[in-house]
């Protein structure tokens, strides 16, 4: 039986993963933590925590096998205005967690989700060691956290796995739509509004089905060979235009192209296509999910 602590239990990915664990790994002992008063899906094994107060972290069960960190504040332009919140939530909270981990003498393996936004634009598929670039607070926050984990491992031997994710979509939990890019397209189209794209929409992304992502989250924790390293998560690659066209066709709406706003263009990352061979070889999982199949499940 695995003992699992999930920090940030109300996030999009965390909610899907909790549902997956309760369905596929019922013998796991799962404890949930977050800053809200309640867990959105009404799971009872939930404790409210103020992660800004390191003493509040005493509420966490540190005698566990795996700790998943889903805490984070996302955003692009708002990071330049809310920089204090971005620094606190995305970096300071992790440092609180790592120092409390040491104090409690935990042995848990930490699984941390990072982002495509740490990479410099490349026309080649991105491997984990390729050049980095940071155009938003969120991007540099995530890269800082990656390096905090490496530093604490080097000095205190805290085990970790960093997973870089490009664009997730879908839901393992039936009846729930996507968030982020796919959610934006679908919500617009379902309400019979045309989909609008900046520029020509030819920039490429690797899109990962939530059905696959939840399996990866489980497997990386339980695979002893996956430790103290960073990995890209695989999926299908499309241009934004191609994805929008698929959604627009399903809901019979139009796809419109407009000029880039100056600020949005300044932080656009261009192509972000993942090479996930490093993780794929260790997991032995075949990516067999198609966006077309997902769209067929929607009303």
Active-site residues: which are they? 138
Instruction: Report, in angstroms and rounded to the nearest whole number, the Rg of the chain calculated over CA atoms.
Output: 19
Q: 199: which 2 tokens?
A: 């520029």
As a whole number of angstroms, the distance between CA 213 and CA 208 comes to: 7
Which residue has 């005493």 as its token pair? 58
Gap between the Cα atoms of 167 and 128, Å rounded: 16
Q: What is the 3-state secondary structure (H, E, C) of 1-50?
A: CCEEEEECCCCHHHHHHHHHHHHHCCCCEEEEEECCCCCCCCCCCEEECC
Distance CA 233, CA 227 (A): 15
How far apart (Å, rounded) are the C-alpha atoms in residues 276 and 129? 12
Cα–Cα distances in Å, from 17 out to 9, 108, 149, 215? 9, 18, 22, 8
DSSP assignment string, 282-298:
HH-------HHHHHHT-
DSSP state of 259: P
């Amino acid at each position: 039986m695995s003992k699992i602590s999930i920090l940030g239990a109300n996030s999009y990915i965390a909610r899907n993963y909790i549902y997956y664990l309760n369905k596929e790994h019922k013998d796991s002992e799962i404890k949930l933590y977050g800053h809200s008063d309640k867990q959105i899906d009404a799971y009872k094994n939930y404790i409210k925590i103020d992660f800004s107060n390191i003493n509040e972290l005493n509420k966490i069960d540190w005698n566990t096998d795996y700790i998943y960190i889903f805490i984070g504040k996302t955003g692009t332009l708002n990071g330049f205005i809310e920089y204090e919140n971005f620094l606190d939530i995305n970096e300071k909270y992790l440092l609180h967690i790592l120092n409390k981990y040491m104090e409690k003498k935990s042995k848990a393996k930490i699984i941390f989700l990072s982002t495509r936004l740490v990479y410099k634009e490349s026309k080649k598929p991105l491997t984990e060691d390729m050049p980095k670039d940071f155009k938003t607070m969120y991007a540099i926050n995530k890269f800082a956290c990656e390096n905090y984990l490496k530093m604490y491992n080097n000095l205190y031997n805290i085990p970790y796995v960093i997973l870089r994710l490009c664009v997730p979509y879908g839901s393992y939990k039936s009846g729930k739509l996507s968030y982020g890019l796919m959610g934006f397209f679908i919500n617009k189209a379902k309400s019979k509004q045309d989909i609008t794209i900046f520029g020509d929409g030819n920039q490429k992304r690797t899109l990962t089905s939530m059905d696959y992502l939840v399996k990866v989250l489980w497997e990386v924790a339980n695979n002893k060979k996956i430790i103290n390293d960073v990995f890209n998560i695989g999926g299908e690659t499309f241009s934004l235009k191609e994805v929008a066209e698929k959604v627009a066709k399903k809901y019979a709406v139009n796809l419109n192209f407009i000029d880039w706003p100056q600020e949005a263009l300044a932080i656009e990352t261009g192509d972000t296509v993942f090479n996930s061979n490093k993780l794929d070889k260790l997991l032995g999982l075949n990516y067999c999910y198609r966006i077309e199949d997902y769209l067929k499940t929607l009303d």
